[in-house]
Structure 1
């Protein structure tokens, strides 16, 4: 499985909100703050973020191997899943087709065949099927918004260089505590 972002979410917090949180009262660092907001959001948000879920509304593309397709259940990652935009598959001859909307339904966070429908055979390949879907919150939970502002504040005040010699694999405790209830773990 491979997941890529097709359309990124709108910013979850604004420069004005972060400036109020960090008590920055000049416009000189607005571009820096905006960049830190993007970095903090990407560090937490799907598809590569620490939380394992989509925060702002975004469009993702997920590919599936033939074995997943044949099981008849395509689990979509990074909830909350909002809508499926399109489903494509490579038939046994390797030609790509759109799967008709009437052939599938969204069951929780997985795409499954509609009742009484069998999906067509696919070519045995790691990208036998491709699903484009939307995920994310209309209104991002306040603890997540606060965690983003805390990360931006920490990175802004730590100087303009790395705070430690090792890369950050875990968020600071306060940030972790705020987002832990929203975290999706995969095995």
Structure 2
């Protein structure tokens, strides 16, 4: 399975003024550039290509490519009604832009929208499901792959992201800001931050 971010988020989740308000710093703080780098680091840790949170925050376009033989089974956790499909990692999923079958030479056959649907399970994961009776396109060269292009995220603006995630990100940024120069201050090993983000952690497919 391969997952790539094909269109990056167009806006930051948090801004320097938002951090300054949280930290009770003046808007014209001389640390503005440093704070911006901290916010970038926290965002990358959570929602980068291998983000710890396993979620998309600002809307972005993702491309998932999986071997076609997994479509008849499933990728990821099974959902309650036993429906199977391909998990679309990095939720929340906004919409699916295209689905195609690729052969071993890279030739793509687009699957009509009527031939697939998406379903969200109780675990919060969205799955792509091919319609009953789906007819496999003619493959000139094996192996075959299923390529799904979809958009995921809470919205186009930072304020669209869940308030709990934004607050936890501010707390994480504060830890780094207050502990600058201290190599013992890290994000991944901080139990308090892990608890703050735990309700939002999703299955990442990694």
Q: TM-score range by the shorter chain?
A: 0.7 to 0.9
What is the CA distance between 1:119 and its match in structure 2?
Answer: 3.6
| In structure 2, distance between residues paired with 1:58 and 1:93 | 28
Give 3-state SS (helix, strand or coil) of 1:16's partner: helix
| In structure 2, distance between residues paired with 1:101 and 1:115 | 13
Cross-structure match for 2:107: 95
Q: How many residues in Structure 1 have an aligned counterpart in Structure 2?
A: 183
Query: Which of the numbers 156, 164, 186 marks the counterpart of 2:184?
Result: 164
Residues 1:57 and 1:80: Cα distance change in structure 2 (over 3 Å): same
| In structure 1, distance between residues paired with 2:138 and 2:187 | 44
| In structure 1, distance between residues paired with 2:114 and 2:71 | 17
Residues 1:129 and 1:185: Cα distance change in structure 2 (over 3 Å): closer
Give 3-state SS (helix, strand or coil) of 1:21's partner: helix
Query: Which of the numbers 144, 148, 162 marks the counterpart of 2:165?
Result: 144
Tell me the C-alpha RMSD between the 2 structures: 2.6
In the TM superposition, what whole-angstrom CA distance separates every residue of 1:69-124 from its partner, at most 9, and x where no partner exists? Answer: 45472211111111011112214775222222222111221111124433435554
Q: TM-score if structure 2 supplies the norm length? A: 0.76
Residues 1:93 and 1:27: Cα distance change in structure 2 (over 3 Å): closer
What is the CA distance between 1:32 and its match in structure 2?
Answer: 1.8
Within a 5 Å distance, the mapping from 1:23-172 to structure 2 comes to 23-25=24-26, 26-45=28-47, 47-71=49-73, 73-91=85-103, 95-108=107-120, 109-120=126-137, 122=139, 124-125=142-143, 128-138=145-155, 139-159=160-180, 161=181, 163-164=183-184, 168-170=187-189, 172=190
What is the CA distance between 1:40 and its match in structure 2?
Answer: 0.3
Cross-structure match for 2:21: 20
In terms of mean alpha carbon deviation, does 105-114 or 93-102 score higher? 93-102
Q: TM-score if structure 1 supplies the norm length? A: 0.83
Is the 8 Å Cα contact of residues 5 and 49 (structure 2) preserved in structure 1? yes
Residues 1:117 and 1:65: Cα distance change in structure 2 (over 3 Å): closer
Unmatched segments (≥5 aa) in structure 1: none
What is the CA distance between 1:144 and its match in structure 2?
Answer: 0.7
| In structure 2, distance between residues paired with 1:121 and 1:46 | 36
Is the 8 Å Cα contact of residues 113 and 119 (structure 1) preserved in structure 2? no
